């Protein structure tokens, strides 16, 4: 880690509390705001001061107070450029914290959640809904349960580098079955006002008798293991979900879809295709 040594206004207040005399502090003022790349160089400069003997009696305190990490003033001497870089770093840190622990933006590239979420919708997901992640681990503090109907964000089980968004339909410990497009939980029909069956495709499938032969419309029954979720897209005839690739591990669920903050049809130009009526719609 990049370590430097520098005395600031706060440093002098701390050194005064440590018992340094006014004369010693006045001597050290000559070094104020100067950045030294190592403790040896810093102390060698201190030894040239008239009150060096008194100051070096507090050598350990002096080094501890002056020590700093990743100081840009040593790397970027120009103050204006340094302030811009510091502001940029601060913005990146804040954005990272907000995205990890509060809200993260996602863009929807497919129609698997139609009509709830449309292609080109930009949504915010709350990243605290199911617990607070511990950085660089799979641990979550203050874990909270996933409820049926939640719109969840999780890594695609077959390629974790891709974020998926689906709806939690079946919960751990339940038995799920699909008969002719109807989801049954423990043998009881599930009321799903959000489920969408494209009318023309539904008629075509029924005419071809596919509803009784395809996992899209007929599936299971399956017992959902502990710690797992059965997830499905609202657009039931056009969604790659748990019917095809299995359960979602609850520990991998990172967030809950909450609100649409922007919407633009990617098939349209930058001049047209905006769906301003969808902006600030809460997801249900």
| Boundary of a domain, candidates 57, 75, 93 | 75
Residue-wise pLDDT for 65-99, tens only, equals 988 865 555 555 665 765 666 667 667 776 666 66
**Whether the Cβ atoms of residue 231 and residue 251 lie closer than 8 Å to each other:** no
Q: Give the structural domain span for 11.
A: 3-75
Q: Is residue 141 located within the same domain as residue 181?
A: yes
Is the backbone peptide bond immediately before 59 cis, with ω within 30 degrees of 0? no
Q: Would 125 be classed as within a structural domain?
A: yes
Question: Model confidence at 230, in pLDDT bands (50, 70, 90)?
Answer: very high
Catalytic residue among 11, 112, 217, 239: 112
Instruction: Work out whether the CA dihedral 178, 181, 183, 187 comes out positive or negative.
Output: negative
Domain count, the chain: 2
> Which strands sit side by side in the sheet containing 35-36, from one edge to the other?
35-36, 3-6, 67-69
Question: From the candidates 166, 211, 228, 239, which is the catalytic residue?
Answer: 166
Question: Is 166 among the residues known to form the active site?
Answer: yes
Q: What is the pLDDT of residues 176-206, one digit of tens each?
A: 999 988 999 999 999 999 999 988 877 777 6
Where does a domain end: 25, 41, 75? 75
User: Smallest Cα–Cα separation from 45: which of 28, 70, 21?
Assistant: 28
Distance CA 56, CA 47 (A): 8
Cα distances (angstroms) measured from residue 169 to each of 10, 28, 40, 119, 252: 57, 67, 64, 22, 16
Examine residue 150 and state whether it is found in any structural domain, yes or no. yes
The pLDDT of residue 1 is above 60: no
Same domain, 63 and 120: no
CA 223 to chain CA mean position, Å: 31
> pLDDT at position 142, please?
76
- Rounded to two decimals, what is the model's pTM? 0.65
Confidence of residue 246 (pLDDT cuts 50, 70, 90): very high
Q: Contact at 8 Å (CB) between 131 and 140?
A: yes
Within-domain flag for 90: no
Residue 118 sits in the same domain as residue 212: yes
Q: Quick check: 63 and 11 in contact, CB under 8 A?
A: no
**Do 34 and 151 share a domain, yes or no?**
no
Considering the domain architecture, whether residues 210 and 118 belong to the same structural domain is answered as yes
In a domain, 148, yes or no: yes
Percent residues over pLDDT 90 in the chain:
44
């Amino acid at each position: 880690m990049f370590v430097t040594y520098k005395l600031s206004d706060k440093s002098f207040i701390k050194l005064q509390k440590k018992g340094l005399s006014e004369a010693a502090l006045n001597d050290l003022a000559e070094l104020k705001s100067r950045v030294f790349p190592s403790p040896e160089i810093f102390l060698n400069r201190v030894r040239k001061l008239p009150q060096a003997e008194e100051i070096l009696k507090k050598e350990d305190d002096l080094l501890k107070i002056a020590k700093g990490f990743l100081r840009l003033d040593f790397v970027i001497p120009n103050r204006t450029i340094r302030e811009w870089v510091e502001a940029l770093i601060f913005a990146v840190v804040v954005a990272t914290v907000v995205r990890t622990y509060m809200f993260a933006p996602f863009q929807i590239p497919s129609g698997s959640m139609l009509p709830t979420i449309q292609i080109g919708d930009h949504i915010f997901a709350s990243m605290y809904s199911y617990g607070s992640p511990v950085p660089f681990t799979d641990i979550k503090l203050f874990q909270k349960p996933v409820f049926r109907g939640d719109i969840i964000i999780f890594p695609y089980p077959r390629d974790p580098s891709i974020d998926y968004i689906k709806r939690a339909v079946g919960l751990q410990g339940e038995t799920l079955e699909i008969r002719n497009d109807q989801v049954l939980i423990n043998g009881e029909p599930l009321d799903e006002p959000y489920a969408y069956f494209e009318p023309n495709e539904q008629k075509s499938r029924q005419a071809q008798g596919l509803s009784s032969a395809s996992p899209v419309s007929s599936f299971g029954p399956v017992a959902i293991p502990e710690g797992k979720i059965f997830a499905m897209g609202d657009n039931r005839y056009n969604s790659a979900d748990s019917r095809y690739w299995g359960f979602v591990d609850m520990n991998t669920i990172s967030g809950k879809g909450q609100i649409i903050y922007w919407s633009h049809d990617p098939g349209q130009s930058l001049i047209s295709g905006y769906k301003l009526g969808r902006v600030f719609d809460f997801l249900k």
